[in-house]
Structure 1
Amino acid sequence: MNPTDPAADAMPFDHLHLDGQPLAYRVEGAPVAVASEQVLLAHDTDLSARAPWAAAGFAVVPGLSGGAQRQLQAGLAELLREALRAAGCPVAPDFDITQYHHAVGDDPARHLAVITQTKAYDLARLPVAPALLEQLVSAACGQQVRAHNPNVNEAVFHLRIVRPHRSDQNPLHRDAWLPRYRNALNIYLPVAGSTAQSSLVLVPGSHHWPESAVERTAGGAIYHGVAYTVPGVLRPVRPLHPLRPNPGPDEVLVFSPYLLHGAAANLNADATRVSLEMRFWPA
């Protein structure tokens, strides 16, 4: 079935089914005009190709050793506290960042003021040597990588903040729909509040799907009323079987940006999920 067929239009897609539970899914945006049979990864650098997890497109691997992962998580938590203070939330030095949603309250401007700071940090502000994560990812994929984006000549990391029962998560998407994120590998590293109810959702094996497997927006999607720069899936053409790999606090999720991922509603009762996101390219 082609996603531009009337039959496809007649199939509503308003829920993502995860672990037998329907999650509300509402994406708006103009669809792409023509569905392509192209497989993006077939024409790009596949940094998962030599890995034992190449077919799935992701793996949960042991994190940094010797206390480095805890040092990283503690330092990232302090960066978030600094962002909160700069946004007018005078949190204590020992503030539990899983309670972020209480600190910002229902003030959208205050939350935006934090997100503006945390969406991209210069790599020099990473609380551990970037080479430690480069070595970890290189070992996981069997190729040498570094945390420098040659597409835009930048080296950054991101803190992702997803409040419980809020629309803070991206829609289902491929990062590789944005040219600057092609030829890369991603990591998701738990910092706080990452559980089986809140961690990243992805669709195994979808990095090898043709573009015709989903109907997506042509440009940035609007997901549950929030605008994002990345295009979003409007409707799948083949069945989706999403899951949450749920890495533990001493683990790291390594995955292909060509995988469909996102729409990870935080279903924790009272804990914000905070994670480190970084991307790596061939060294």
Structure 2
Amino acid sequence: MKASVNQQPVTYQIEGESSPAENRVLLAESIDLTAGTTWAASGYTVAPFLAPTQQQQLQQGLADLLREALQAAGVPVASDFPVSDYHRVIGDDQARHLAVVNTTKEYSLDRLPIAPAVLEARVGELCGRPVQAYNPFDDARIFHLRIVRPGRSDNNPLHRDIWLPDYDNCVNIYVPVAGSTADSSLSLIPGSHWWPESQTERTQQGAVYNGVTYTVPGVKDAPQPLELIRPNPGPEEVLLFSPYLLHGGAVNLNADATRISLEMRFWSA
């Protein structure tokens, strides 16, 4: 499969049994929280997020959660340890990395460093409608930290979140915490939230991506080259995007910085 990120060719290898192609547009059957916005056609926007003091409180508190997860995994770090140096203390110890990820992959909202209502209000403004960080399909109120070491296969394969159960009808945020740059931030394909399923070939179940197994299905092939971009939100910004967009599938190309980001989902209130 031919793919590029910011016009630079990338190596992309996916294994797994293919799912039957369907000529369906999944978003056409769902609630589109981007509808009516200025960014509805692209499926994403980068915008100022919180007030400076709130943004700082959020990012510092999330960094503290990662330091706590490192300590729980047996990696003693100082209270001022720069979390972008995560790869330096973990290295290629996959077992210890997975122990950290097992903690950071799901937090209840009471661990969020600021009131969830603050984020709900701002995301609601950007969507033009009230939203809440509550999944009506499974009653979950959660967030998670994504950890992507430089040069490792820590990032998800190219996928739609909707290929996993219970992620219908929502909108996603990506908030930089550390190490998020033009070489490492989340990648996506603008406008792909309206592509029919038949426009790509994907795995039926989870995918094996560059030798690593993931629970999410992944894109295996496409008739045309896939052109991804990295919107690259700054430290005071948020990337808000439809979970029906194809996203992921790009490694952290930073020379010496782990990418840490907050990821949450919001549904209609």
**Interval containing the TM-score (normalised by the shorter chain):** over 0.9
2:9 is the counterpart of 1:30: no
Q: Give, as a single letter, the amino acid of the residue that structure 1 aligns with 2:247.
A: H
Q: 146, 152, 155: which one pairs with 1:166?
A: 152
Q: 172, 195, 200: which one pairs with 1:214?
A: 200
CA distance in 2, matches of 1:91, 1:154: 31
Q: Displacement, 1:66? A: 4.2
Q: Give, as a single letter, the amino acid of the residue that structure 1 aligns with 2:78.
A: A
Share of identical aligned residues, percent? 61
Spell out the pairing of 1:84-95 with structure 2 (5 A cutoff). Answer: 84-95=70-81
Q: Displacement, 1:238? A: 3.6
Alignment correspondent of 1:19: 6
Q: Displacement, 1:140? A: 0.5
- The one-character-per-residue Cα deviations of 1:43-65 (angstroms, maximum 9, x if unpaired) are 00000012110000000011101
Secondary structure of the residue aligned to 1:278 is strand
Please provide the CA RMSD for this pair: 0.9
Q: Displacement, 1:168? A: 0.2
Q: 233, 252, 255: which one pairs with 1:266?
A: 252
Secondary structure of the residue aligned to 2:101 is helix
Alignment correspondent of 2:100: 114
CA distance in 1, matches of 2:86, 2:112: 21
Q: 100, 113, 116: which one pairs with 1:127?
A: 113
Q: Give, as a single letter, the amino acid of the residue that structure 1 aligns with 2:162.
A: A
Alignment correspondent of 1:41: 27
Q: Give, as a single letter, the amino acid of the residue that structure 1 aligns with 2:27.
A: L
Q: Displacement, 1:241? A: 2.0
Alignment correspondent of 1:96: 82
Alignment correspondent of 2:130: 144
2:185 is the counterpart of 1:199: yes
Spell out the pairing of 1:176-187 with structure 2 (5 A cutoff). Answer: 176-187=162-173
CA distance in 2, matches of 1:49, 1:159: 27
Contact 1:214 1:237 in 2 (8 A): yes
Secondary structure of the residue aligned to 2:226 is coil
CA distance in 2, matches of 1:254, 1:232: 21
User: What residue ranges of structure 1 are gaps of 5+ in the alignment?
Assistant: 1-12
CA distance in 2, matches of 1:264, 1:180: 25
2:57 is the counterpart of 1:71: yes
CA distance in 2, matches of 1:81, 1:207: 35
Q: Give, as a single letter, the amino acid of the residue that structure 1 aligns with 2:61.
A: G
CA distance in 2, matches of 1:86, 1:281: 32
Contact 2:5 2:229 in 1 (8 A): yes
2:37 is the counterpart of 1:51: yes
- The one-character-per-residue Cα deviations of 1:187-210 (angstroms, maximum 9, x if unpaired) are 000000000000000000000000
Secondary structure of the residue aligned to 2:110 is helix
CA distance in 2, matches of 1:280, 1:78: 24
Contact 2:7 2:227 in 1 (8 A): no
- The one-character-per-residue Cα deviations of 1:156-209 (angstroms, maximum 9, x if unpaired) are 001000000000000000001113111100000000000000000000000000
Greater CA deviation, 233-242 or 251-260? Answer: 233-242
Spell out the pairing of 1:2-13 with structure 2 (5 A cutoff). Answer: 13=1
Greater CA deviation, 129-138 or 16-25? Answer: 16-25
CA distance in 1, matches of 2:132, 2:55: 18
Q: Give, as a single letter, the amino acid of the residue that structure 2 aligns with 1:52.
A: T
CA distance in 1, matches of 2:92, 2:230: 28
Greater CA deviation, 17-26 or 215-224? Answer: 17-26
Greater CA deviation, 23-32 or 231-240? Answer: 231-240
The TM-score, its normalising length taken from structure 2, stands at 0.98
CA distance in 1, matches of 2:165, 2:102: 22
User: What residue ranges of structure 2 are gaps of 5+ in the alignment?
Assistant: none
Q: 50, 62, 68: which one pairs with 1:82?
A: 68
Q: Displacement, 1:275? A: 0.1
Q: Displacement, 1:106? A: 2.0
CA distance in 2, matches of 1:105, 1:200: 22
